[in-house]
Each structure stands twice: as structure tokens, then as C-alpha cells.
Amino acid sequence: MIQRVQSLLLVIVVLCGMCLLLFPFVSYQGYPPLFLRNPADIAPIGNYLSILTALITLFSYKRRKLQIKLCYLIMLFNLSLFSTVLCLTNQLYDHDFEKATFLFPTYLILVSIIAAFWAGIFIKKDEELVRSADRIR
């Protein structure tokens, strides 16, 4: 059901997560920019879980209640990723935090949180529409 608004919002969540894998999220003065690719680090785990959960949510369109719960889970993963990127980046990589420059993929995490929130709202509206149609019968 790709033509639905919530499906497009979930695709935006996946694309934001993929941009975090492809582009650097922070650069430090005098150091190469950092990517969220290495699965051995703690920072990209939230990104991988967010992408995987968004794909599962996208293809479970017949189970709307599960989709709503998975949207909240996506938001939780992205919030943990955002807090990890902002708060723990200097501790994980032993760089000076004052010299850090957060690049645009860092802010795509917020776009992903907002898209997952709105997808949950649109899924709730669909569920209410189905319930009201069942009451009419």
C-alpha cells in the first residue's frame, strides 16, 4: 500500500536512515568526518533498528494496531540515536566536543522522528475509519 500517506512517511524514515549510513554525521576539526556505518559501535545500532522496524511497519499494512506500536518504537529508536549522537559522540570517539560540527544527516534524525509520528497519526485515522465502517454494517 505504497500510495497511502503513512507509507510515504515510512519511506521517508527509511531514506533518512539510509542517508545517515551514506553521509558523515559529524566532523571534528583536524579529524576525518564520522559515519554511522560500523555495527561494532553503539551509535549506529539505533539507526539499523529504526530502518528495519520502518520496513517491517511498511509491509505489515493489514495489521494497523501493530503498525501504530511499531511507529512508536521507531520514534524511540530515533530518539535514542539522536541522544547518542548528541551526547555520547565525544565520549565514544575521544574528540573535543567544542570543535564538533554536526552535519545535515544529524538533523535528518529529527525529520525521521516527525515522519514516524505523523505516520502513526495517519494509521490511527485509518483504523478509526475501518471501525466506523464496521459499525455502519
Query: What does each C-alpha distance from 76 to 28, 50, 53, 137 come to in angstroms?
Result: 27, 9, 11, 38
pLDDT of residue 1 exceeding 60: no
- Residue 128's pLDDT is 85
What's the grid cell of residue 17? 536512515
- Residue 29's pLDDT is 76
Output the CA torsion 117→123→124→128 (10° steps). Answer: 160
Query: What letter would DSSP give residue 98?
Result: G
Over range 30-35, report the average pLDDT: 76
Task: Specify which residues 28 forms β-bridges with.
Answer: 100
Instruction: Identify the band that residue 64 occupies on the pLDDT scale cut at 50, 70 and 90.
Output: confident
pLDDT > 70: what percent of the chain? 84
- Residue 4's pLDDT is 81
Query: Smallest Cα–Cα separation from 107: which of 134, 125, 82?
Result: 82
Asked if 25 and 85 count as a contact pair (C-beta separation under 8 A), the reply is yes
Using left for φ > 0, alpha for ψ between -120 and 50, and beta otherwise, residue 81 falls in alpha
Q: What is the average pLDDT score of the chain?
A: 83
pLDDT tens digit string along 65-124?
Answer: 999 999 999 999 999 888 888 776 666 666 655 677 788 888 899 999 999 999 999 988
Instruction: Provide the CB-side half-sphere exposure for 16 (13 A, CA).
Output: 29
